[in-house]
Amino acid sequence: MNLSTQDIAKLGEIATLLEVSGYPKAGNVHRTRDFSNMTFEDFLISSACIRGPLNTAAYNGHKSYPYMLNQVGIGKCILESVRSTHNLTHTNTNLGISMLLIPICATFGALVDENPINNLQKTLDTIIKNTETEDAVALMKAINIADAGGLDNKPQEYDVNDSNTLDEIRDNHINIYDLLKMSQDYDKIAYELVNELPVISTYGYPTYAKYEKDYSVNDVTLEVYLTILAYNTDTLINRKYGDQTAQKVSDKACEILQNSEIASSKRLKKIKEFDTYLRKNNYNPGTTADFTAASLFVGLVDKYSITGI
């Protein structure tokens, strides 16, 4: 791969910027629409804040692979990203993105001398399985800082709101892989990370690769977003409104894909209508946005792995 660890981190930051700029990314903050509690500028700030942790993750992945993977420190990098963002925005704009991009970035760092796409899934799995207890502690701290929505009624063995949780994690020698396994039934980011990236590898990245040479970056971003949402119900909507509502939202995304062409005026009209519908009902496919950023990241690394940047 003709990319340095700093190049990889730069592409990760670019992926987050492209994702939030996607217009009109239905139901999420984008360049012309804010939420009452978070703005487009908040996400730009979070993109700047994730760059340092991505640099660290890529460098540590390269330095620690393959014999010292317990020293990659992805939990600490996630915590640094979330903490620095919270200090500047006071809202949760990048917990999910950090949880996806930082392990992937560490994996690409480990693979600078190998094929980054062919070896991504298995190497990522190995890195997550080799995390240490302090990585899990750091992840729990990050979740607590971000105050992730919809977790109150979920059956968590290690409750982020319990003051004894961190001691219990240390006493039981729990690592990030263990925590994610416990959460995978109700959290699709957790499921993604302990099952070798099924959404990114099946829907997100292939959609990017299919369209990126022939369409604008914005059109490709929207296509990745819609494709992921059409075939995968969103965790955030599911937590807040239940399975039926989440499936209804995905069905509407699927209808748009089936009944309009990418980059067409009809597609733009339908997405704008979808955006209005989602905002009117307070349906926010936030996890889909996280998957979109991660898919763009994988696509960008693949695109520039031969030519460099």
Q: What percent of the chain has pLDDT over 90?
A: 90
Report pLDDT for 90: 84
Chain segment 106-137, per-residue pLDDT in tens: 999 999 999 999 999 999 999 999 999 999 99
Structure letter (DSSP) for residue 67: T
Which of the four pLDDT bands, split at 50, 70 and 90, describes residue 33? Answer: confident
Does residue 181 belong to any structural domain of this protein? yes
Report pLDDT for 289: 97
**CATH classification at residue 104:** 1.10.4200.10
Which of the four pLDDT bands, split at 50, 70 and 90, describes residue 147? Answer: confident
Does residue 153 belong to any structural domain of this protein? yes
Distance of CA 178 to the CA centre of its chain: 19
In whole numbers, what is the pLDDT of the chain averaged over residues? Answer: 94
Report pLDDT for 150: 46
The domain of 236 spans 5-304
DSSP 197-248: -HHIIIIIHHHHHHHTTTS-HHHHHHHHHHHHHHHS--HHHHHHH-HHHHHH
Does residue 309 belong to any structural domain of this protein? no
**Statement: residue 81 has pLDDT above 50:** yes
Phi/psi of residue 152, nearest 5 degrees: -60, -35
Does residue 145 belong to any structural domain of this protein? yes
Chain segment 159-181, per-residue pLDDT in tens: 776 778 899 999 999 999 999 99
Tokens read off for 249: 């939202």
**Statement: residue 206 has pLDDT above 90:** yes
Report pLDDT for 151: 44
Report pLDDT for 156: 63
Q: How many domains does the chain have?
A: 1
Chain segment 269-286, per-residue pLDDT in tens: 999 999 999 999 999 999
Does residue 202 belong to any structural domain of this protein? yes
Partners of 30 in beta bridges: 33
Does residue 44 belong to any structural domain of this protein? yes
CA separation for the pair 203, 222 (Å, rounded) = 13
Q: What's the pTM?
A: 0.95
Chain segment 85-113, per-residue pLDDT in tens: 999 998 889 999 999 999 999 999 999 99
